[in-house]
Amino acid sequence: MSSGQPPRIAFLASATDDARGALESLVAEHGQHEPEEADVLCALGGDGFMLQTLHRHGALGKPVYGMKLGSVGFLMNHYRQEGLLERLQVVEPAVLRPLEMIAQTESGASVGSLAYNEVSLLRQTRQAAHLSIDLNGKPRLDELICDGVLVATPAGSTAYNFSAHGPIMPLGASVIALTPIAAFRPRRWRGALLKAQTEVRFRVLDPYKRPVSATADSHEVRDVIEVTIRESQDRIVTLLFDPEHNLEERILSEQFVV
C-alpha cells in the first residue's frame, strides 16, 4: 500500500473469543473506521469468515487483509498484533473474480449469488443426482449420475474442489474447474478445465424423484431444476498477503505436498 498517512482500517472479526480479543486490541492501537470509509478491511478469523467478508463488503472494492484466528486460514495471513502498519506497506495483492450463479427452482424462483470458491450441486436425498451439462449453450454431457458436481475458481481450487480430486489451478490462469463428486456414470469421467469465460449450465433431469440443491460458497438454494454459472464481469476483489506467504505461493506449495 502507498506510503504517507497511515491507512484507515476497518477491523472485522468472527464470533470466536480469540478473534474478538484481537479486534479489541487492534482497534485500541489503530482506531476503527466503517468499511465504507476505510482504505483497507482487516478480517480476523478463518477462511469462512473471509468469505463472509467478501460477500458482505466486496461491492465496496476495498482491499482485504486477513489474519488467521480460526480453524482454516488458506486465505489468511498469520496473526500478529505488532507491526501491522509495516506489513501493510509491503503486501502483495491477489485479484480474484468470483463466479455468478443463477439457480432456477421448482417453484419458479430465480436466485442469484456469487461464489469466490465454488458453486456445488449436491443430491438432497439418498437418490443419486441425474444432471446434464451444457457449455456455452452446447450440450456436452447428456447425463451425469453422481452425488454432485462443482465449478471452482483458482482461489477455491484447493478447497472442496481438491477434496473431490479436482485440479489445483494457479491464480491468473483464466480457467475454472468442472469437477464431479462421486460420479457413477460416466464412471471414468474426471471433469474438465474450462476457460474462465465459459458459461456452464446444469439441468436436473429428474428433479421430483432426485432433488438437487445448489450452493454458492455458503448460500444454498434447495430444489433447483437449472443452474447457470459464469465468471462475474463486474465484480473483482483484492486480497492482500505478506510477501513470504502469498496466495500464489500457497497454491503452488499445495501441489508439492507428499
> CATH code at 59?
3.40.50.10330
- In whole angstroms, give the CA distance from residue 67 to residue 1: 17
Do 71 and 144 lie in a common domain? Answer: no
**What is the biggest distance separating any 2 CA atoms in the chain, rounded to whole angstroms?**
62
32 and 142 fall within a common domain:
no
Instruction: Say whether both 47 and 132 belong to one domain.
Output: no
User: 131 is written with which cell numbers?
Assistant: 444432471
Q: What is the pLDDT of residue 21?
A: 96
pLDDT at 74: 81
CB 161 within 8 A of CB 179: yes
Q: Tell me the three cell numbers of residue 4.
A: 504517507
CA dist., res. 221 & res. 103, Å (int)? 7
User: Is position 188 within any domain?
Assistant: yes
Segments of the chain with pLDDT less than 70 = 1-4, 72, 258
**142 belongs to the catalytic site:** no
Among candidate residues 118, 119, 122, 149, the one with its CA nearest the CA of residue 133: 149
In a shared domain, residues 24 and 46: yes
Nearest alpha carbon to residue 136 among 228, 234, 233: 228
Q: Are residues 33 and 130 in the same domain?
A: no
Please indicate, yes or no, whether residues 89 and 117 belong to a single structural domain of this protein: no
Residue 20's domain spans which residues? 9-96+236-254
CATH number for position 186: 2.60.200.30
Residue 3 falls within a domain, yes or no? no
pLDDT value at position 3?
55
The identity of residue 84, as a single letter, is: L
Count of CB atoms situated within 10 Å of the CB of 125: 10
| Same domain for 110 and 59 | no
Residue 92 lies in a domain: yes
Pair 104, 211 in one domain: yes
- The domain tally of the chain equals 2
Which residues fall within 8 angstroms of residue 104, CB to CB, at 6 or more apart?
A: 110, 224, 225, 226, 227
Question: Cβ neighbours of residue 102 under 8 Å, at least 6 residues apart?
Answer: 110, 111, 112, 227, 228, 229
What is the DSSP secondary structure assignment for residue 62, as one 8-state letter? -
pLDDT score recorded for residue 2: 55
Q: Report d(CA 93, CA 202) in Å as an integer.
A: 33
* Residue 174 to residue 195: CA distance in whole angstroms: 6
- Is residue 1 in a domain? no
- Options 47, 142, 206, 217, the catalytic residue: 47
139 and 55 co-located in one domain = no
Residues in binding site = 47-48, 117-118, 147, 155, 158-163, 182
CA separation for the pair 4, 130 (Å, rounded):
58
As annotated, the binding site for NAD(+) includes: 47-48, 117-118, 147, 155, 158-163, 182
In a domain, 58, yes or no: yes
Confidence (pTM): 0.87
Q: Report helix, strand or coil for 67.
A: strand
Is the residue at 212 inside a domain? Answer: yes
Same domain, residue pair 28 and 57: yes
pLDDT for 251: 77
What DSSP element (H or E) covers 88? helix 84-89
Kindly state whether residue 4 falls inside one of the protein's structural domains. Answer: no
Cβ proximity of 64 and 51 under 8 Å: no
Q: What pLDDT does 245 receive?
A: 74
Are 145 and 82 within one domain? no
